[in-house]
Structure 1
Amino acid sequence: MAIQLNHTIVHARDAAASARFLAELLGLGEPVRFGPFHGVELANGVTLDFLDSDDVPLVEHYAFLLSEAEFDQVFERIRARGLPYWADPGHRRLNQINHGDGGRGLYWSDPDGHNLEILTRPYGSGGG
């Protein structure tokens, strides 16, 4: 069997709210409760399993590869909520998108400060 990522745990102050935030922005199905987790399933079967944490969560980075049309839809949801977004992971280029490898990408933060990213071309895939 080929090795595949199945799931990862995302620590959050309010797991249900953070899972819902991500699912709504990405246009995914409602998070599914499984034990202490609120799972957000991606198209490739990987789930992000949000777990309540009393501690301030370690800030992580999650990147989502999507089509140009899906990028437009997610980008519109980000702007409709008035969320700040950046062209770079260091959050220095506010309200800009990047055009890495001939595609488009941007970063924004979830309620716990996790650095979320959408991109239309994988890094190193060419195209500029």
Structure 2
Amino acid sequence: MTQDIFKSGLAREITDGPAFDAALAQPGEVIQTGEAVDVGSISKAPRRSRDSGPTPAQKARVADLEGRLERLDTTQATAIGDIEAEVAALQKRRSVLEGEYAAARRDLVARLKAARARR
């Protein structure tokens, strides 16, 4: 357990009673009790076996997921790169259009001034 159940109030130390007697009869064993438990039927908590590590199937699943994640990241990076290239091309096109517009407008404004001056 990683949590201090005594500090959190989930467990408390006992000094007498049937649960105390059962604990003394089986030192080193975990004894589970609860409000709804018949004290006469206190039994040992089931022991969990220690894992020796991930199984081959778990390792294969992890490797598969890592591969899928890497492919997803690569696909995303490629897509973003493509979009950035499109944005750069559009910005260049816009710059050209703005330059052509500015030159044409200057020409028309100058011609309009000249036409108004001749009236």
With normalisation by structure 2, the TM-score equals: 0.23
Higher alpha-carbon Rg: 2
Structure with greater strand percent: 1
Structure with greater helix percent: 2
Tell which has more relative contact order, 1 or 2 (C-alpha 8 A, sep 6+): 1
